[in-house]
């Protein structure tokens, strides 16, 4: 959908004689959020400048950007998935912000700042942040005398105790179809997913003992401990929410957006649910991926100063919180996050675990080839193979080789 706000002469301006169109591509969250963006577009549509909004969504959103870049029809401003920034920067498609890596670390959540930094240059402005934590049935835990698990070993112990107390339910929701729910366990076990060598090349570390053990442990939650239904091998986030709401599981790893979805579907659950930090692994880490979106200005933008003015306006703390809170996101900008976590929608006992979890969140390996690794599906296929009985080391050796082939081309 494309919406255009035409210049009227009474919007925000700096007295310059700039003219042209500033096209902004935004995620399509639904028509109820469009007035927020339309108001911003109108604010900056001055004499000679029109701000045009396009809402893109669906599984082909990334491809729409790639096609626009290759055909030189990219928008002036884009709100892009944070894992896309290194890729687009490597193509020379993005305009550097002029900030240093140190400056963005002071202004944004650390992992979000990492998402806009490529080869020591900054190419974007983090907008929202998302992380995962543990969600559990606090009411049933209390009745059974259980505490939420602090470690992954505790997940097994508590999960089995939960099943003993509630035989018609499972203790933990395995998400075998969603790599983001278990790939961070490689860090929890003390390993790395991929690292950059001194010569700049990226190398997979998924064949090392920590990664092998992390994948094996997660598979055994299903195969050895029976903490989830058999179908959980293919579950993703939406399946976990449904299973929790249908009283099938007692706890699961959930994104802040998963919890929002859960409570929208079943408001009565708010009095029954609790949250806790991600469990720690034997490596002493409970890091999870940071998800989210970043604003970028494309190198082809003909009105870069106006584009930067618009982005700055959007990132005003109060304005940022206004929209991210509606969407169930957290702002990635530290001053706005402070508002949300102290007096906003993430300040309550139930929600504050998510801003706290941001402190240990990490970004994916910052290589432009990472999208290619994800696209193979091999991060999920490896877990499925181990669940199916294949020898873990051999499976992970194959995964590492596939990753190296892709990373070497990045």
C-alpha distances out from residue 324 to 35, 89, 256, 331, Å:
14, 25, 12, 6
For residues 23-50, give the mean pLDDT.
92
- Evaluate whether 64 touches 56 at the Cβ level (below 8 Å): yes
Do 2-123+291-360 and 132-289+367-407 agree at the fold level? yes
Grade residue 17 by pLDDT with cuts at 50, 70 and 90: low
The alpha carbon of residue 26 and the mean position of all alpha carbons in its chain are separated, in whole angstroms, by 16
Q: Where do runs of H (alpha helix) occur along 130-182? A: 138-144, 152-165
DSSP letters, 270-306, are GGTEEEEPPPB-TTS----B-EEEEEEEBTT-S-HHH
Domain 132-289+367-407, second-level architecture: 3-Layer(aba) Sandwich (3.40)
- 227-239 pLDDT tens trace: 999 899 999 999 9
Q: pLDDT at residue 1 above 60?
A: no
Grade residue 10 by pLDDT with cuts at 50, 70 and 90: very low
- pLDDT at res. 2: 56
For residues 23-42, give the mean pLDDT.
92
- 243-263 pLDDT tens trace: 999 999 999 999 999 999 999
Q: Vertex 179, ends 178 and 185: CA angle to 5°?
A: 125
- pLDDT at res. 3: 55
Angstrom distance (rounded) from CA 223 to CA 234: 13
- Evaluate whether 85 touches 94 at the Cβ level (below 8 Å): yes
Instruction: Report pTM.
Output: 0.92
- 314-327 pLDDT tens trace: 999 999 998 988 88
Grade residue 156 by pLDDT with cuts at 50, 70 and 90: very high
Q: pLDDT at residue 6 above 60?
A: no
Strands 117-118 and 49-56: unpaired
Q: Where are the domains of the chain?
A: 2-123+291-360, 132-289+367-407
Strands in 291-297's sheet, in edge-to-edge order, are 2-5, 49-56, 20-27, 77-81, 291-297, 125-130, 330-331
- pLDDT at res. 58: 84
- pLDDT at res. 7: 52
Q: pLDDT at residue 287 above 70?
A: yes
Grade residue 409 by pLDDT with cuts at 50, 70 and 90: confident
Q: Which two tokens stand for residue 322?
A: 């206004």
Q: pLDDT at residue 410 above 90?
A: no
All residues at 6 or more sequence positions from 324 whose CB lies less than 8 Å from its CB, including other chains: 127, 128, 330, 331, 336, 340
For residues 371-384, give the mean pLDDT.
96
- pLDDT at res. 14: 46
Q: pLDDT at residue 4 above 60?
A: no
Q: pLDDT at residue 62 above 50?
A: yes
Q: Which two tokens stand for residue 292?
A: 């989210």
- pLDDT at res. 9: 42
- Asked: is 2-123+291-360 a CATH 3.40.50.1000 domain? The reply is no
Residue carrying the six token digits 């139930």: 350
Instruction: Give me Rg for the CA atoms of the chain.
Output: 22
């Amino acid at each position: 959908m494309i919406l255009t706000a035409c210049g009227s002469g009474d919007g925000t301006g700096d007295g310059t004689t700039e003219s042209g169109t500033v096209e902004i591509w935004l995620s399509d969250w639904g028509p109820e959020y469009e007035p927020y963006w339309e108001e911003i577009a109108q604010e900056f549509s001055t004499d000679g400048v029109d701000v045009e909004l396009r809402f893109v969504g669906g599984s082909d959103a990334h491809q729409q950007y790639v096609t626009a870049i290759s055909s030189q029809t990219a928008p002036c401003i884009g709100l892009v998935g944070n894992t896309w920034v290194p890729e687009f920067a490597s193509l020379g498609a993005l305009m550097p912000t002029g900030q240093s890596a140190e400056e963005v670390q002071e202004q944004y959540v650390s992992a979000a700042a990492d998402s806009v930094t490529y080869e020591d240059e900054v190419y974007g402005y983090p907008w929202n942040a998302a992380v995962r934590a543990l969600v559990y049935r606090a009411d049933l835990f209390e009745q059974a005398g259980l505490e939420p698990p602090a470690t992954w070993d505790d997940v097994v112990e508590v999960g089995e105790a939960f099943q003993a107390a509630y035989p018609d339910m499972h203790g933990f929701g395995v998400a075998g179809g969603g790599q983001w729910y278990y790939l961070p366990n490689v860090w929890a076990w003390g390993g790395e997913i991929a690292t950059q060598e001194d010569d700049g090349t990226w190398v997979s570390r998924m064949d090392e003992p920590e990664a092998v053990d992390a994948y094996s442990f997660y598979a055994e939650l299903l195969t050895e401990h029976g903490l989830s239904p058999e179908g959980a091998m293919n579950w993703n986030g939406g399946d976990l929410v449904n299973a929790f709401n249908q009283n099938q599981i007692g706890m699961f790893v959930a994104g802040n957006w998963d919890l929002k979805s859960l409570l929208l579907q079943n408001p009565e659950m708010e009095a029954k649910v609790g949250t806790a930090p991600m469990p720690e692994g034997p490596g002493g880490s409970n890091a999870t991926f940071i998800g989210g979106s970043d604003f970028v200005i494309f190198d082809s933008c003909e009105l870069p100063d106006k584009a930067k003015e618009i982005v700055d306006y959007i990132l005003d703390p109060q304005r940022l919180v206004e929209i991210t809170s509606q969407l169930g996101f957290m702002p990635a900008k530290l001053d706005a996050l402070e508002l949300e976590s102290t007096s906003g929608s993430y300040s309550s006992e139930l929600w504050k675990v998510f801003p706290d979890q941001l402190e240990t969140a990490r970004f994916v390996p910052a290589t432009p080839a990472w999208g290619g690794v994800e696209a193979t599906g091999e991060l999920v296929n490896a877990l499925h193979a181990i669940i199916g009985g294949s020898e873990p080391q051999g499976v992970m050796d194959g995964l590492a080789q596939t990753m190296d082939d892709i990373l070497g081309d990045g």
